[in-house]
Amino acid sequence: MSLLHLAILSPLLLAIAIPLLHKYFRQIHTGWFVLPLPIVLFTYFLQYISLTRDGSSIIKTIAWIPSLDINFSAKIDGLGLLFALLITGIGSLVVLYSIYYLSKDKEKLNTFYVYMLLFMGAMLGVVLSDNLIVLYTFWELTSFSSFLLIGYWYHREESRYGAQKSMLITVFGGLAMLGGFLLLYIMTGTFSITEMIGRSGEIFTHSLFVPALLCILLGAFTKSAQFPFHIWLPDAMEAPTPVSAYLHSATMVKAGIYVVARFSPIFAEHSLWLWLVAGVGIVTLFWGSFSAVKQTDLKAILAFSTVSQLGMIMSLLGVGAAAIHFEELDNSYFTVAVTAAVFHLINHATFKGSLFMVVGIIDHETGTRDIRRLGGLINLMPISFTLALVGAFSMAGLPPFNGFLSKEMFFTGMLRVMEMNIFKLDTWSALFPIIAWIGSIFTFVYSMIIVFKTFAGKYQPEKLDRKPHEAPLGMLIPPLVLASLVIIFGVLPNILSETLIAPAMTSILPGLAFDVRISFWHGPTPELFMTLGVVILGTILYLTLAKWQSVYGLLPDKLALNRLYDKGLEKAQYGSFRLTSTYMNGYIRTYLVYIFAFFTIVVGTTLFVKNAFAIDASDVSPIRFYEAILVLVVAISAVSILFAKSRLTSIIVLGAIGYTVSLLFVVFRAPDLALTQLVIETVSVSLFLLCFYHLPEISRTEERIRFKLTNAVISIGVGAIVTMIALSAHSTKLFESIAEYYVENTYEEAAGKNMVNVILVDFRGFDTMFEITVLGIAALGIFTMIKLRLARRKEG
C-alpha cells in the first residue's frame, strides 16, 4: 500500500475514529479533529503539481481481486489532481465553516463528520481510480453518503423526501453507468481506463460502442444534475448548508463532469457523444438559469444556478470533444472550449462555495432564507455583502472576477460550434450560441437577485426572527478565502493555466496540441459584445422583474418535471400493487392453475419443439387380462371420485384405488410394496375419515364438485403430457439398467436374500435414514400442532 492509497483511504479510516473522539472529547467541537486531514491531504496533493505539469502521470496499484482484473489502482494525472485539490481544498474550508455553523450541543456531530469523511474519501476514490470497478464502488459510496447527508435532519419530512429522491435518481444513473463499464470491459477485456484510452480505436468500431456510450452518459448526467435529471438537486437543499456547499456545488455534482471528461478520449470520436453532451448541457444551462429566477429561497436559487453552471461546463466539454472528432481541423480551434470548461470548473467551485457559505451565514443570522423577507442587510452585514457581491458578480460573468474570463471563453466555444456542421445542419448549430446567450442573461438576473434582494432595499426587522448582525470570524474565513481566490484567479488567470488547466487538458485531450494562455482582453470581439448585451439586457430584465415574472405561471403545473417524478413514483407503486393483486389473489387453486398450466405448456412445447415424442412398442411385455381388469378398476374408480356426491363416497373409493394398486404390486411381483401399500392405505383412509368427521357442519352438505372448463382442460392436459412423457421415456432407453449388479451382489456382498430390503438398508441406506427423519418430523409436527395451542392459551 503506497502513500497515495493511504491518502485516498485516510478519510474513511478517520471516520472510524470519529465516534470515539466525539465521545471522549465532549468539550471540543468534533470538527477540529477532522479539519487537519483535508489540509494535510491538500498539501500532499499540491506536491504532485510538479509531476503533472509536464504531462506525466503515475499509477500505483494494489491487488484487490486480481483474478477478476479488479485492482485498486490509483492514478494521478492532471484531471485527477485538479479534482483532488478541489475536494481537499474546499473540503478543508467547508469543515472549518461547519465548525462554526453546526452547534456543538444541539447537533449530532459524530454522525455528521462520519458521513462527511465518508463522502470525502469516496470522492477522492472516484477521481483517482484507474480501475472502473473501483471507480464505480466509490461512485456508489458518494451517492450513499450524499443520501445520508441530505437526510441529516431526518426528523424533517422534506429532508427524507429529498434524500430519497436524490438516492433514487443517482443510483439509477449509477447502475446504468455500471452497465456501461461492463460493456467497456466486454469490448476491451480490461478494467483499466488508461489501457482503454490506448485502445480507443478498437472500441470505436465495436458494435457495443453506442450502448456503452449511452449508459455511461446516463450515469454522468444523473449525477451532475443535467436536464431532465436535475430535479433531485433543488430538493437536496434540505441538507445542512456546509453539505450543500461542499457536495451540491463543488464536488459531488462534478463527478459526472469528471466522468465525461475522463471518457472523452474514448468516446469523443463519435458525433453522438459530441451532440449529446453539448446539447444536454446547453438545455440544462438554459433551463437551470430560467428556473432560478422564479425561486424565492436563496438556496433554491443557488441550486438551480448550480444546475445551470454544470450544464455550461458540460456543454463546453461536448464542444471541446470536437477537437478529437475533427482531427483534420486546426486543433486549437475547439480546445478553447475545454480550457473554458476546466477553468470554469475551478471558478464555479470557488464562487459557488463562497455563495453557499454566505447564504448559510444569512440563514444563521436572520433565521430565514426567503428573499421576500430579507432586504437591507448591507449595513448590518457588510463583510457578507462584499462576499456575496464578489461571488454573484463572478457568477454573472462580470470583470474583473474569474467568471468573466470563463464566460468569455464559453461564448468563444459556443460561437465556434456554428462552424462544425456535422449533420449539415448549420441552422441548428446556430442555436447553441443563442441559447447560451439567453441563458447567460438569466444567469445575470438571478445573480443580481441574490445580492440586491438580500442586501439592498428596505430593511424589514418585523419579518425576521432575530436581530441580524455580522457572523463570527471563523464562519467568515472560508468564504473570504474563496472570494479572494475568485479575485486572484480573475486578475491573474495564468497562475492556473500552466499548473492545473494544461495538465487537466492533457488528460482530456491526449495527444493534442493546445494553447492555454488566458488573456484578459481579447479586443473588440463578438464575445465582448455578447457580454455587453448580457449586462444591458440583464439589468433591464432585473429592473422590470415584477412586470414579467408572471411568465412563470404560464407553464402548466402538470408539465413540471417534479410533478412528473412524483406522479411517476406514485403510479409505479400503484401499478405494481395493482399488478400484484391481480395474480396474487390468495387462492391456492389459482396458483395451482398457474403451476399446472405452466408445466403443461412448457413441457409440452419443449417436447414438441425438440420432436421428442416417441412410441416404441418393441420392448413392451404382453398385457394379461387380469392386469387389464385391475387397471380398468383403478380408472373407473378414479373417474367416479370426480362425480361422487358425498365426501364419504370419495374416501371409500379412494381406499379402493389404493387397495387395487397394492394388488397391482402383487401382480407385478413386489411383495414388500404390496404389504406397505396395504397398511398405509388403511391408515390414510382412516385419517381421511377422521378429517371428514371433524368437518364443520356447514361444509358437510353433500355436493358434487362443480364443473369448471379451465380446470378440466388443465387436468386433461397434465394427464396427457405426463402420459406422453412416460411413453416417450420408456421408448427411448439410452443405456442398460444397473439392476444386474444388485441381483448378483445382494447375497455376495450384503448377506441378504430380499433384494428390496438390502437396497433399502444396505446399498442405499442413506435414503432410508432421511425417510425415517421425515416420518419423525411429521410425527413431531402433528403432535405439536395438536398440543401447542398458543392462541387459545393467550385467550385463557
| Residue 197 or 666 with smaller CB distance to another protein | 666
Euclidean distance between CA atoms 76 and 59, whole angstroms: 7
**Nearest to another protein of 219, 655 (CB atom):** 655
Q: How far is the CB of 699 from another protein (least distance, A)?
A: 17
Q: Of 81 and 661, which has the nearer Cβ to another protein?
A: 661
Please state the closest distance from residue 623 (CB atom) to another protein, in A.
Answer: 13
Nearest CB to another protein, comparing residues 378 and 656: 656
Amino acid, res. 86: L
Q: Are 260 and 351 in contact (CB under 8 A)?
A: no
Q: What is the DSSP string of 379-432?
A: TT-HHHHHHHHHHHHHHHT-TTSHHHHHHHHHHHHHHHHTT--TTS-HHHHHHH
Give me the least distance between CB of 682 and another protein, in Å please: 5
The CA-atom distances, in angstroms, between 126 and each of 165, 193, 373, 429 are 22, 12, 41, 34
Nearer to another protein, 329 or 679 (CB): 679
Helices and strands of the chain, counted as H and E runs: 37, 2
Residue closest to 397 by CA, chosen among 441, 454, 453: 441
Q: 182 or 670, CB closer to another protein? A: 670
Sequence length of the chain is: 796
Residue 714 CB, nearest distance to another protein (Å)? 25
Question: Which stretch of DSSP H or E encloses residue 62?
Answer: strand 58-65
Q: Please identify, using beta-carbon distances, which residue of 377 and 663 lies nearer to another protein.
A: 663
SS3 content of the chain, % helix, strand, coil (to 5): 75, 5, 20
Closest CB 670 distance from another protein, rounded Å: 9
Tell me 624's DSSP state. Answer: P
Q: How far is the CB of 720 from another protein (least distance, A)?
A: 25
Find the shortest distance in angstroms from Cβ 787 to another protein. Answer: 9
Q: How far is the CB of 668 from another protein (least distance, A)?
A: 10
Q: Least distance to another protein from the beta carbon of 704, Å?
A: 14
C-alpha cell, 138 = 466509490
- Give the separation between CA 456 and CA 241, rounded to whole angstroms: 23
C-alpha cell at 789: 395451542
- With H, G, I as helix, E, B as strand and everything else as coil, classify residue 29: coil
Find the shortest distance in angstroms from Cβ 703 to another protein.
16
Cell output for 178: 455500471
Taking the complex as a whole, the smallest distance from the CB of residue 758 to another protein amounts, in Å, to 15
Min separation Cβ 663 and another protein, Å: 6
Q: Which residue number, 330 or 672, has a Cβ lying nearer to another protein?
A: 672
> Which DSSP letter does residue 151 get?
T
Output the 3-class SS for 491-545. Answer: HCCHHHHHHHHHHHHHHHCCCCCCCCCCCCCCCCCHHHHHHHHHHHHHHHHHHCH
Q: Nearer to another protein by C-beta: 555 or 642? A: 642
Of the two residues 561 and 666, which places its CB atom closer to another protein in the complex? 666
Q: Which residues contact 53 (CB under 8 A, 6 or more apart)?
A: 498, 499, 502, 503
In whole angstroms, give the CA distance from residue 135 to residue 64.
Answer: 13
Q: Which is nearer to another protein, 26 or 624 (CB)?
A: 624
Q: Which is nearer to another protein, 159 or 637 (CB)?
A: 637
At which residue does the C-alpha cell 461512485 appear? 139
Burial 696-728 (b: 16+ CB within 10 A, else e): eeeeeeeeeeeeeeeeeebeebbeebeebeeee
Minimum CB distance to another protein smaller for 190 or for 640: 640
Complex with another protein: residue 63 or 705, whichever CB lies closer: 705
Residue reference for cell 477478476: 68
Helix (H, G, I), strand (E, B) or coil at 457: coil
Nearer to another protein, 225 or 654 (CB): 654
Nearer to another protein, 194 or 649 (CB): 649
Are residues 303 and 234 in contact, defined by beta-carbon separation less than 8 angstroms? Answer: yes
**Assigned C-alpha cell, 259:** 466522468
Instruction: Find the shortest distance in angstroms from Cβ 766 to another protein.
Output: 26
Residues 6+ apart with CB under 8 A from 214: 180
| CB-CB contact of 406 with 415 (8 Å) | no
Least CB distance from residue 654 to another protein, whole Å?
11
* Nearer residue to another protein within complex by CB, 603 or 641: 641
**Minimal distance, residue 683 CB to another protein, in Å:** 10
7: nearest Cα among 66, 98, 81: 81
Q: Is 190 helix (H, G, I), strand (E, B) or coil?
A: coil
Q: Which parts of this chain interact with another protein (CB under 8 A)?
A: 625-626, 629-630, 632-633, 636-637, 640, 644, 648-649, 652-653, 655-656, 659, 662-663, 666-667, 669, 671, 674-675, 678-679, 682, 685-686, 689-690, 693
Alpha-carbon separation of residue 285 from 306, 309, 379, 467, 506 (angstroms): 9, 6, 34, 37, 26
- CB 594 to another protein: min, Å: 33
Residue 652 C-beta: closest distance to another protein, Å = 5
CA–CA gap between residue 95 and residue 99 (Å, rounded):
6
Q: Which is nearer to another protein, 625 or 770 (CB)?
A: 625
The SS3 of residue 728 is helix
Cβ distance 25 to 110 under 8 Å? no
Q: What is the DSSP letter of 762?
A: I
Contact yes or no for 742/759 (Cβ under 8 A): yes
Q: Would you call 760 exposed, middle or buried from its count of C-beta atoms within 10 A (0-12, 13-18, 19+)?
A: middle
Enter the C-alpha cell of residue 154.
431526518
Q: How far is the CB of 637 from another protein (least distance, A)?
A: 7
Strand partners for 74: 60, 129
Distances (CA, A) of 666 to 70, 627, 637, 657, 675: 65, 11, 19, 14, 9
